[in-house]
């Protein structure tokens, strides 16, 4: 049975949830506070779990069109010495399309499916009975309200759902650079590589034939590393062999301090928190967006399978994903904390991780290996009338 949903926030979470409900025949309206999609000049890691959701929603080809499938992921030290690597496989994929490609594809598919996106519409509050309140004094009622209004969610805070919010003391600068045609042929130009010097990291990720995504990460207190626009000399001294990347990094990239969010619950009455409002995490696993997509998709699926019963569906959605996502957040945080270790200890930690596939499966790749779309898990749960096993 279909119903109505009002969604605050037109980012990855809001558009994915909107599309998932529109595909189920719901009347969907997304409210985005900005006057257009918030398109940021950066790429986004989308691992197998996110790709499966996009596929199930019929937008995978549009999102990955022109994007290069990743084939190798490496870690190197400041001298270029390779100390960890993983190979991607056809059943364990990674793409890094531009954020623009992702948001545009979701938006276009949502409109084509009959959904509506209202720009310049800022939500300020919601009540558990299903009313969304806006900055201009208007309000809207629906069977379900989705708060996909990002890390600073006023709806989450207004409903008292925030348990804590923690700065993790790390900073990231993101930008896109143009690739030279020769980089398509060399291994270095085709490989995703996280380069380390002390606690500083330079990530190079080929996106398309023309563009690569670069992220510079530094600890709080590293004044030159935290600078925007970047201190080019400082980064060149740290990674002299990567001057070919550093020269091309533009000054208009984006800098962010990373944070972790923990909520008491993901919902109150018929208001559900999806994406960073519920589960913001530092980006060390490249899974904040992936978790947001899984959450939006599973919410629609759970309510649909509960015959449109919002309360039952929300309970099932939380049972399936909440603990699991909290584990992913924790892993992402601790993985990032490796930056604080002395290099020899860090190498030992990466070495241990690299040797054990089981450890990787339970940590680094736990989200990437999670198939939120697998029909058999839903069938099993329905037949048994019990929740599927989840990660504890």
- How far is 312 from 294, CA to CA, in rounded Å? 18
Q: How many CB atoms lie within 10 A of CB 185?
A: 8
The distance of closest approach from Cβ of residue 96 to ligand FAD in the complex, given in angstroms and rounded to an integer, is 7
12 is an interface residue for ligand FAD by CB under 6 A:
yes
Q: Which of 45, 239, 317, 324 binds ligand FAD (CB under 6 A)?
A: 45
263 is an interface residue for ligand FAD by CB under 6 A:
no
Query: Using CA of residue 232, residue 237, residue 243, residue 245, what is the dihedral sign?
Result: negative
* φ and ψ of 57, to 5 deg: -90, 0
- How far is 5 from 245, CA to CA, in rounded Å? 45
- Enumerate residues 6+ apart whose C-beta is below 8 A from 45: 94, 96, 205, 286, 287, 289, 290
The distance of closest approach from Cβ of residue 343 to ligand FAD in the complex, given in angstroms and rounded to an integer, is 23
- Strands 271-273, 94-95: pairing kind: unpaired
Subset of 272-291 contacting ligand FAD (CB under 6 A) = 275-276, 283, 286-290
Q: Please say which residue, 33 or 363, places its beta carbon nearer to ligand FAD.
A: 33
Q: How many CB atoms lie within 10 A of CB 167?
A: 11
14 is an interface residue for ligand FAD by CB under 6 A:
yes
The distance of closest approach from Cβ of residue 203 to ligand FAD in the complex, given in angstroms and rounded to an integer, is 9
For residues 241 to 260, the per-residue mask of contacts with ligand FAD, x marking binding by CB under 6 A and - elsewhere, is ---------------x----
Total site size for ligand FAD, rule CB under 6 A: 32
206 is an interface residue for ligand FAD by CB under 6 A:
no
- Enumerate residues 6+ apart whose C-beta is below 8 A from 237: none
32 is an interface residue for ligand FAD by CB under 6 A:
yes
State the residues that interact with ligand FAD by CB under 6 A: 8-14, 31-34, 38, 44-45, 122-123, 148-150, 154, 172, 174, 256, 275-276, 283, 286-290, 292
């Amino acid at each position: 049975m279909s119903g109505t949903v009002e969604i605050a926030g037109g980012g990855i979470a809001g558009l994915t949830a909107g599309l998932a409900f529109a595909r189920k025949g719901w009347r969907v309206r997304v409210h985005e506070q900005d006057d257009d999609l918030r398109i940021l000049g950066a790429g986004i890691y989308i691992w197998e779990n996110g790709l499966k959701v996009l596929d199930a929603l019929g937008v995978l080809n549009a999102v990955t069109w022109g994007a290069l499938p990743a084939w190798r992921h490496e870690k190197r030290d400041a001298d270029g010495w390779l100390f960890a690597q993983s190979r991607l496989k056809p059943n364990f994929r990674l793409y890094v399309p531009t954020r623009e490609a992702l948001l545009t594809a979701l938006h276009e598919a949502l409109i084509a499916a009959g959904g509506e996106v209202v720009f310049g519409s800022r939500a300020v509050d919601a009540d558990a009975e299903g009313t969304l309140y806006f900055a201009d004094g208007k309000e809207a009622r629906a069977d379900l309200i989705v708060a996909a209004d990002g890390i600073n969610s006023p709806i989450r805070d207004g409903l008292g759902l925030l348990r804590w919010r923690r700065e993790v003391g790390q900073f990231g600068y993101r930008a896109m650079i143009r690739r030279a045609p020769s980089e398509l042929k060399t291994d270095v130009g085709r490989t995703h590589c996280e380069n380390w010097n002390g606690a500083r990291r330079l990530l190079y990720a080929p996106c398309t034939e023309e563009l690569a995504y670069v992220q510079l990460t530094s600890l709080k207190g590293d004044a030159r590393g935290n600078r925007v626009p970047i201190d080019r000399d400082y980064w060149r001294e740290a990674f002299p062999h990567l001057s070919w990347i550093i020269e091309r990094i533009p000054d208009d990239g984006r800098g962010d301090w990373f944070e972790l969010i923990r909520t008491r619950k993901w919902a109150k009455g018929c208001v559900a928190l999806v994406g960073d409002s519920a589960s913001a995490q530092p980006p060390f696993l490249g899974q904040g967006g992936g978790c947001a997509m899984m959450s939006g998709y599973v919410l629609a699926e759970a309510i649909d399978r509960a015959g449109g019963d919002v309360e039952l569906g929300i309970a099932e959605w939380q049972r399936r994903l909440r603990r699991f996502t909290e584990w992913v957040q924790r892993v992402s945080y601790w993985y990032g904390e490796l930056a604080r270790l002395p290099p020899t200890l860090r190498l030992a930690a990466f070495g241990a991780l690299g040797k054990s596939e089981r450890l990787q499966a339970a940590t680094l790749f736990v989200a990437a290996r999670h198939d939120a779309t697998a029909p058999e898990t839903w069938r099993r749960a329905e037949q048994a009338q019990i929740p599927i096993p989840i990660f504890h």
